[in-house]
Structure 1
Amino acid sequence: MRHPSLEYLLVGCVAAIVTLLLTPVARRVAIRIGAVAKPRDRDVHAVAIPRMGGVAIFAGFALALFVASRLPTLGDGFKFGPDMGWIVGAGAVICGIGVLDDIYELDSLTKLAGQALATGLMVIKGDVQLDFLPLVGSTLSFDRNLGVPVTILLTLLIINALNFIDGLDGLAAGVCTISAVAFFVFSYHLAQEGFTGSASPPTLLAAALAGTCIGFLPHNFFPAKIFMGDSGSMLVGLMLSAAATTSTTTTDSQVFNDTPGSLAIFLPLIVPLSVLALPFVDLLLAVVRRVARGRSPFAPDKQHLHHRLLEIGHSHRRAVLLLYFWSAVVAFAGVGVSFEGSQWFVLWLLVAFVVLGLAVSLVPNLRRQRTPGPAVAGATRHRDRLKAGGPTRH
């Protein structure tokens, strides 16, 4: 079966164009109904900015899937795998809950309940469920009684991980774009190996999601005209989970039987974990940090990864680009090992990029150590005058 590359490209373009055109409309509506993010102590932005960009993202995503259902090859793909209608319906539910939060700022437990409701619809009705996990020499199979709660739990983790990193202009949208493109490349590779039917759901979801985030970025990148809000961050988290789950359960490790050692067995786990590494690390650090201080895991603070980059001297734009870089390095390293004969090349390339990334990330600290700031320089001059017995000014 020939892989429908042009159809996926069309789906991505439809998602991007619709989201790009509808985002200004969502912005005007958000301003009119009061869905505006006012600056708080933990926020980076200094002026009120409308949110609710998730509405435009959902519209682009839903219309892209509708177009896909009418295409010759992708339309047939709707007969396999999960129920796309219920996936879109679950997206509508979580987007609606996010809109309420964008307007009224719901408490964390109410949002968690709404996330669980939308996730349950996607998992139970949409049949987006982990069937097995690969292990060394065997697989761990899940029956429905175990697979459903495990999938719901993992999905809730992904949703909140994406929600946690949505703290700088364009950060969540950019990281989601990178993640979706990485999933697309991995699933596309599966289809090229002859698994077109099984790889169709994650490839389609990734193409539509990447398109929506690309269409949203021009309005959201620094300086942002609109935020995606919880209506957007929770939605893209849910859709990323759907892509990750379907890519994991439809992967046959025999496709990668030439991979050195037992690495092939773990590829269905390595790829999703590497793609979502950045938001998961930020989520884990936040939970550990807050629990260690006796606070709720959902209590907000100003110590996320992006906040730390700003603290050491990076500009807003540079901090976002650095996090894009790290997300892409880890994500595409995981995807790269799935290609036959590329493992050593990917390893050396990963080492080179990590060294480069560390050097660029630490540049502000190095500058700060070399060149004292005005306060330090003034204190040094004051101390030198005292030693020389000269006059001082206060």
Structure 2
Amino acid sequence: MSEFSSSLFWLLGLTLIPPAIISALTLYPIRRHAGRLGLVARPGGHSTHVNVTPLGGGLGIWAGIMITFAAGTFAVWLLRQSPDLQSSVPEFFVVHLDGVWSRCAQLWALLGAGSVLVALGFIDDRRGVNPWIRLAIEFAVAGYVVYGLGFGLTAFIGIEWLTNLLSILWIVGLINSFNMLDNMDGLSGGVAAIISASMAIVMLTTPESGSMVSQLFVAALLLVVLGSLLGFLWHNRPPAKIFMGDAGSYLVGFLIAVAMLMATYAGNISERPHAVLAPLCVMAVPLYDMTTVLWIRIREGRSPFVGDRSHFSHRLVDLGLSRVQAVLTIYLVTGTCGIAAVLLTTVSIFQAVMVIGVVLCMLSLVIILESTQWRNNDS
């Protein structure tokens, strides 16, 4: 096995397997005691599920992420304190020990901000939170990340106040897009897993600016999120035994959004400014769902904060697909967008135009198919 293959094997094993196991195991007692915690989704209203179902999936996702990073932080600290132990671990980890340790404070500040959103979602799952208060807290957390931790996009704009504003809107937008997408078994978690995997590939194949080193810190963050999501999906696959809930969707949307802001997309090749469109490309489905749902609600004179059955997945079911087929269709579209995002970071401008064109054609096809149902409803 080559050095690169061995390093990739260890990276994937340590970032995917532990959070998946922790998340999956944690959710068994959460499922059992969800009623005592007040984390229960009941049939009725705008919901389409027919059974009383626990809502604490987000707690398992949070546990998988936090425990994995806690163990990883302790392991890094121990190896730095005991040089003799370094001979017992692969050289790949020894080389990056100092770099990883230098980012630990930043990592835990980020995880602390995410935990605030988990607490917000937990309260929202139990008894609801005023939507304006919820948005205020989301904007406050996003502002802390952008101004306090210094994470933000550049997008070759060069106007700091504008890029900071766009970064905050990006974070809040993705938090709510994953929250709105959480409306069918396996949907939000599966889409988030596909997006995390796609962006992790981008990070592992795109070096940091000014170096030839892959963006291991961001890749590891996305892979741990992916692993925790896989553990959750074991319980959330149809028929779901537990739902993600607001606690989970807020956390997942937040971490994916910030990971994309932390990343570099063009690497050392200035001829690929189009690579910064990779996040928009991979997020096409959640953003499409959120945008169309808000447009439908506002057009019909309803509150954009009140849930309904106008989501992309519901509209696919209205076209005649089963719920499982609708979820798999959205997986397929998201996977295609993920492949396109990976390609954007490796191709020339001319080829990038074709890649983006494929994504736009696919979304246009979706709109055309959906317009048939819209016309039927209007008639």
Q: Is the 8 A contact 2:344 2:355 kept in 1?
A: no
Structure 2 counterpart of 1:325, one-letter code: L
Q: C-alpha distance in 2, partners of 1:20/1:74? A: 29
Q: Where does residue 255 of structure 1 map in the other structure?
A: 269
Q: C-alpha distance in 1, partners of 2:4/2:210? A: 9
Q: Is the 8 A contact 2:343 2:355 kept in 1?
A: no
Q: Is the 8 A contact 1:162 1:233 kept in 2?
A: yes
Q: Where does residue 76 of structure 1 map in the other structure?
A: 98
Q: Where does residue 90 of structure 2 map in the other structure?
A: none
Match of residue 229, structure 1, among 223, 230, 245:
245
Report the CA distance shift for 1:196/1:15 in structure 2 as closer, same or farther (over 3 A). farther
Unaligned stretches of 5+ in structure 2?
77-92, 373-379
Q: C-alpha distance in 1, partners of 2:262/2:146? A: 11
Q: Where does residue 295 of structure 2 map in the other structure?
A: 288
Q: C-alpha distance in 1, partners of 2:261/2:349? A: 25
Unaligned stretches of 5+ in structure 1?
135-139, 258-263, 366-394
Match of residue 141, structure 2, among 118, 127, 135:
118
Q: Where does residue 16 of structure 2 map in the other structure?
A: 12
Q: Where does residue 218 of structure 1 map in the other structure?
A: 234
Structure 2 counterpart of 1:15, one-letter code: P
1:186 paired with 2:202, answer yes
Query: What secondary structure sits across from 1:335 in the alignment?
Result: helix
Structure 1 counterpart of 2:332, one-letter code: F
Match of residue 151, structure 1, among 167, 174, 180:
167
CA deviation profile, 1:117-162 (whole Å, cap 9, x unmatched): 33233333333222x213xxxxx1243x554433222100010111
1:39 paired with 2:46, answer no
Report the CA distance shift for 1:2/1:210 in structure 2 as closer, same or farther (over 3 A). same
Structure 2 counterpart of 1:44, one-letter code: T
Structure 2 counterpart of 1:332, one-letter code: I
CA deviation profile, 1:323-345 (whole Å, cap 9, x unmatched): 10111111211212323589869
CA deviation profile, 1:264-312 (whole Å, cap 9, x unmatched): 21112x2100111101011111122222223332222211100011111
Larger CA deviation: 43-52 vs 230-239: 43-52
Q: C-alpha distance in 2, partners of 1:345/1:153? A: 26
- Aligned 1:375-390 pairs, distance under 5 A: none
Q: Where does residue 60 of structure 2 map in the other structure?
A: 56
Q: C-alpha distance in 1, partners of 2:267/2:208? A: 15
Report the CA distance shift for 1:97/1:193 in structure 2 as closer, same or farther (over 3 A). closer
Q: Is the 8 A contact 2:146 2:168 kept in 1?
A: yes
Q: C-alpha distance in 1, partners of 2:234/2:124? A: 24
1:102 paired with 2:121, answer no
Match of residue 141, structure 1, among 146, 158, 164:
158
Report the CA distance shift for 1:301/1:256 in structure 2 as closer, same or farther (over 3 A). same
Q: Is the 8 A contact 1:122 1:128 kept in 2?
A: yes
Q: C-alpha distance in 1, partners of 2:16/2:243? A: 21
How many residue pairs get aligned? The number is 348
Q: 1:168, CA displacement in angstroms?
A: 0.3
Q: Is the 8 A contact 2:119 2:247 kept in 1?
A: yes
Q: 1:66, CA displacement in angstroms?
A: 2.8
Structure 1 counterpart of 2:137, one-letter code: G
Q: Where does residue 304 of structure 2 map in the other structure?
A: 297
Q: Where does residue 390 of structure 1 map in the other structure?
A: none
Q: C-alpha distance in 2, partners of 1:99/1:301? A: 21
Kindly report the root-mean-square deviation, in angstroms, between the aligned alpha carbons of the 2 structures.
Answer: 3.3
Q: C-alpha distance in 1, partners of 2:350/2:69? A: 34
Report the CA distance shift for 1:196/1:169 in structure 2 as closer, same or farther (over 3 A). farther
Q: Is the 8 A contact 1:74 1:200 kept in 2?
A: no
Q: C-alpha distance in 1, partners of 2:246/2:146? A: 21
Q: Where does residue 88 of structure 2 map in the other structure?
A: none
Structure 2 counterpart of 1:307, one-letter code: H
Q: Is the 8 A contact 1:16 1:212 kept in 2?
A: yes
1:323 paired with 2:330, answer yes
Q: Is the 8 A contact 2:206 2:267 kept in 1?
A: no
Q: C-alpha distance in 2, partners of 1:148/1:346? A: 27
Q: C-alpha distance in 1, partners of 2:104/2:70? A: 16
Q: C-alpha distance in 1, partners of 2:297/2:187? A: 22
Normalising to structure 1: TM-score of the pair?
Answer: 0.79
1:265 paired with 2:273, answer yes
Q: Where does residue 202 of structure 1 map in the other structure?
A: 218
Q: 1:11, CA displacement in angstroms?
A: 1.4
1:279 paired with 2:283, answer no
Normalising to structure 2: TM-score of the pair?
Answer: 0.82
Question: Percent identity over the alignment?
Answer: 29
Structure 1 counterpart of 2:237, one-letter code: F
